[in-house]
Amino acid sequence: MKTKQTLWPDFQLAFRHVWDLGRLYCDKNNNEIAYYNLLFALACGVLPTTILELGTGPGVSSVAFIRVLQYCRVAWARDCHLHTCDIDPNAISPLLRYQPLVVPHVKRTDELAVEWAVHQTPIDILYIDAGHSHEQSLTDFQNFSPYVVPNGLILMHDVHPLTPEHEDLKFSGTVYKTALFLKANYAHDFEYVTYPHLCGIGLLRKKGGRYF
């Protein structure tokens, strides 16, 4: 049974979701639409306060996260933020209309890591897609995973190249090596599974919650 507290926010969320899908179907391929839906659903399950997105890119992931944060702000009166980081200001500029919900960081993720270490803001969802090399994706994980809260999620894109040719850095690159490294070395701290579609998505849940 819906309550007055959630009925209007739920309606807004549904309307915005359908609106986004309509725009995506006119402009994007089905894989990107499926990717939007997956990220949207995962974020809905977490109901996060803080999302850190490393690699804004075309903004598909950004919009999925923004819609859920908008809902959390209205339904639960939370002070929610999407911190999005990219070296390309043109990638971030379309998201500036969502300020102050969106906090832009036009810089390298390594630079942001130095700043984040000062305030150590807890992270509910960490999204890693800033670079397609094993070295950069692992560095991003090591720099920011300590701030992910227990039961928080880390989403890592490009962990399952579609073909051997996609191991080129201009496609999925060598991020799959990071997935293998994390499974071998971080099993004590994180549960890990690879979703082998949409160029591969690594799903990590940080352990330390009450039950798991």
| pTM assigned to the model | 0.94
Rounded Cα gap, residues 167 and 162, in angstroms: 8
Q: For 176-193, how does the pLDDT look when each residue is reduced to its tens digit (9 = 90+)?
A: 999 999 999 999 999 999
Rounded Cα gap, residues 175 and 169, in angstroms: 9
The pLDDT value given to residue 95:
97
The pLDDT value given to residue 5:
62
Query: Mapping DSSP to helix (H, G, I), strand (E, B) and coil, where does residue 83 land?
Result: strand
Segments of 56-196 assigned E as strands: 81-86, 102-106, 123-128, 148-157, 190-195
Rounded Cα gap, residues 35 and 38, in angstroms: 5
The pLDDT value given to residue 184:
96
DSSP string, 152-179: EEEEEE--S-SSGGGGSTTTTTTHHHHH
Please name the residues in contact with 37: beta carbons below 8 A apart, sequence gap of 6 or more: 21, 64
| Full set of structural domains in the chain with CATH | 4-206 (3.40.50.150)
Low-confidence ranges of the chain (pLDDT < 50): 1
Rounded Cα gap, residues 38 and 136, in angstroms: 24
The pLDDT value given to residue 4:
55
Rounded Cα gap, residues 71 and 153, in angstroms: 19
The pLDDT value given to residue 14:
84
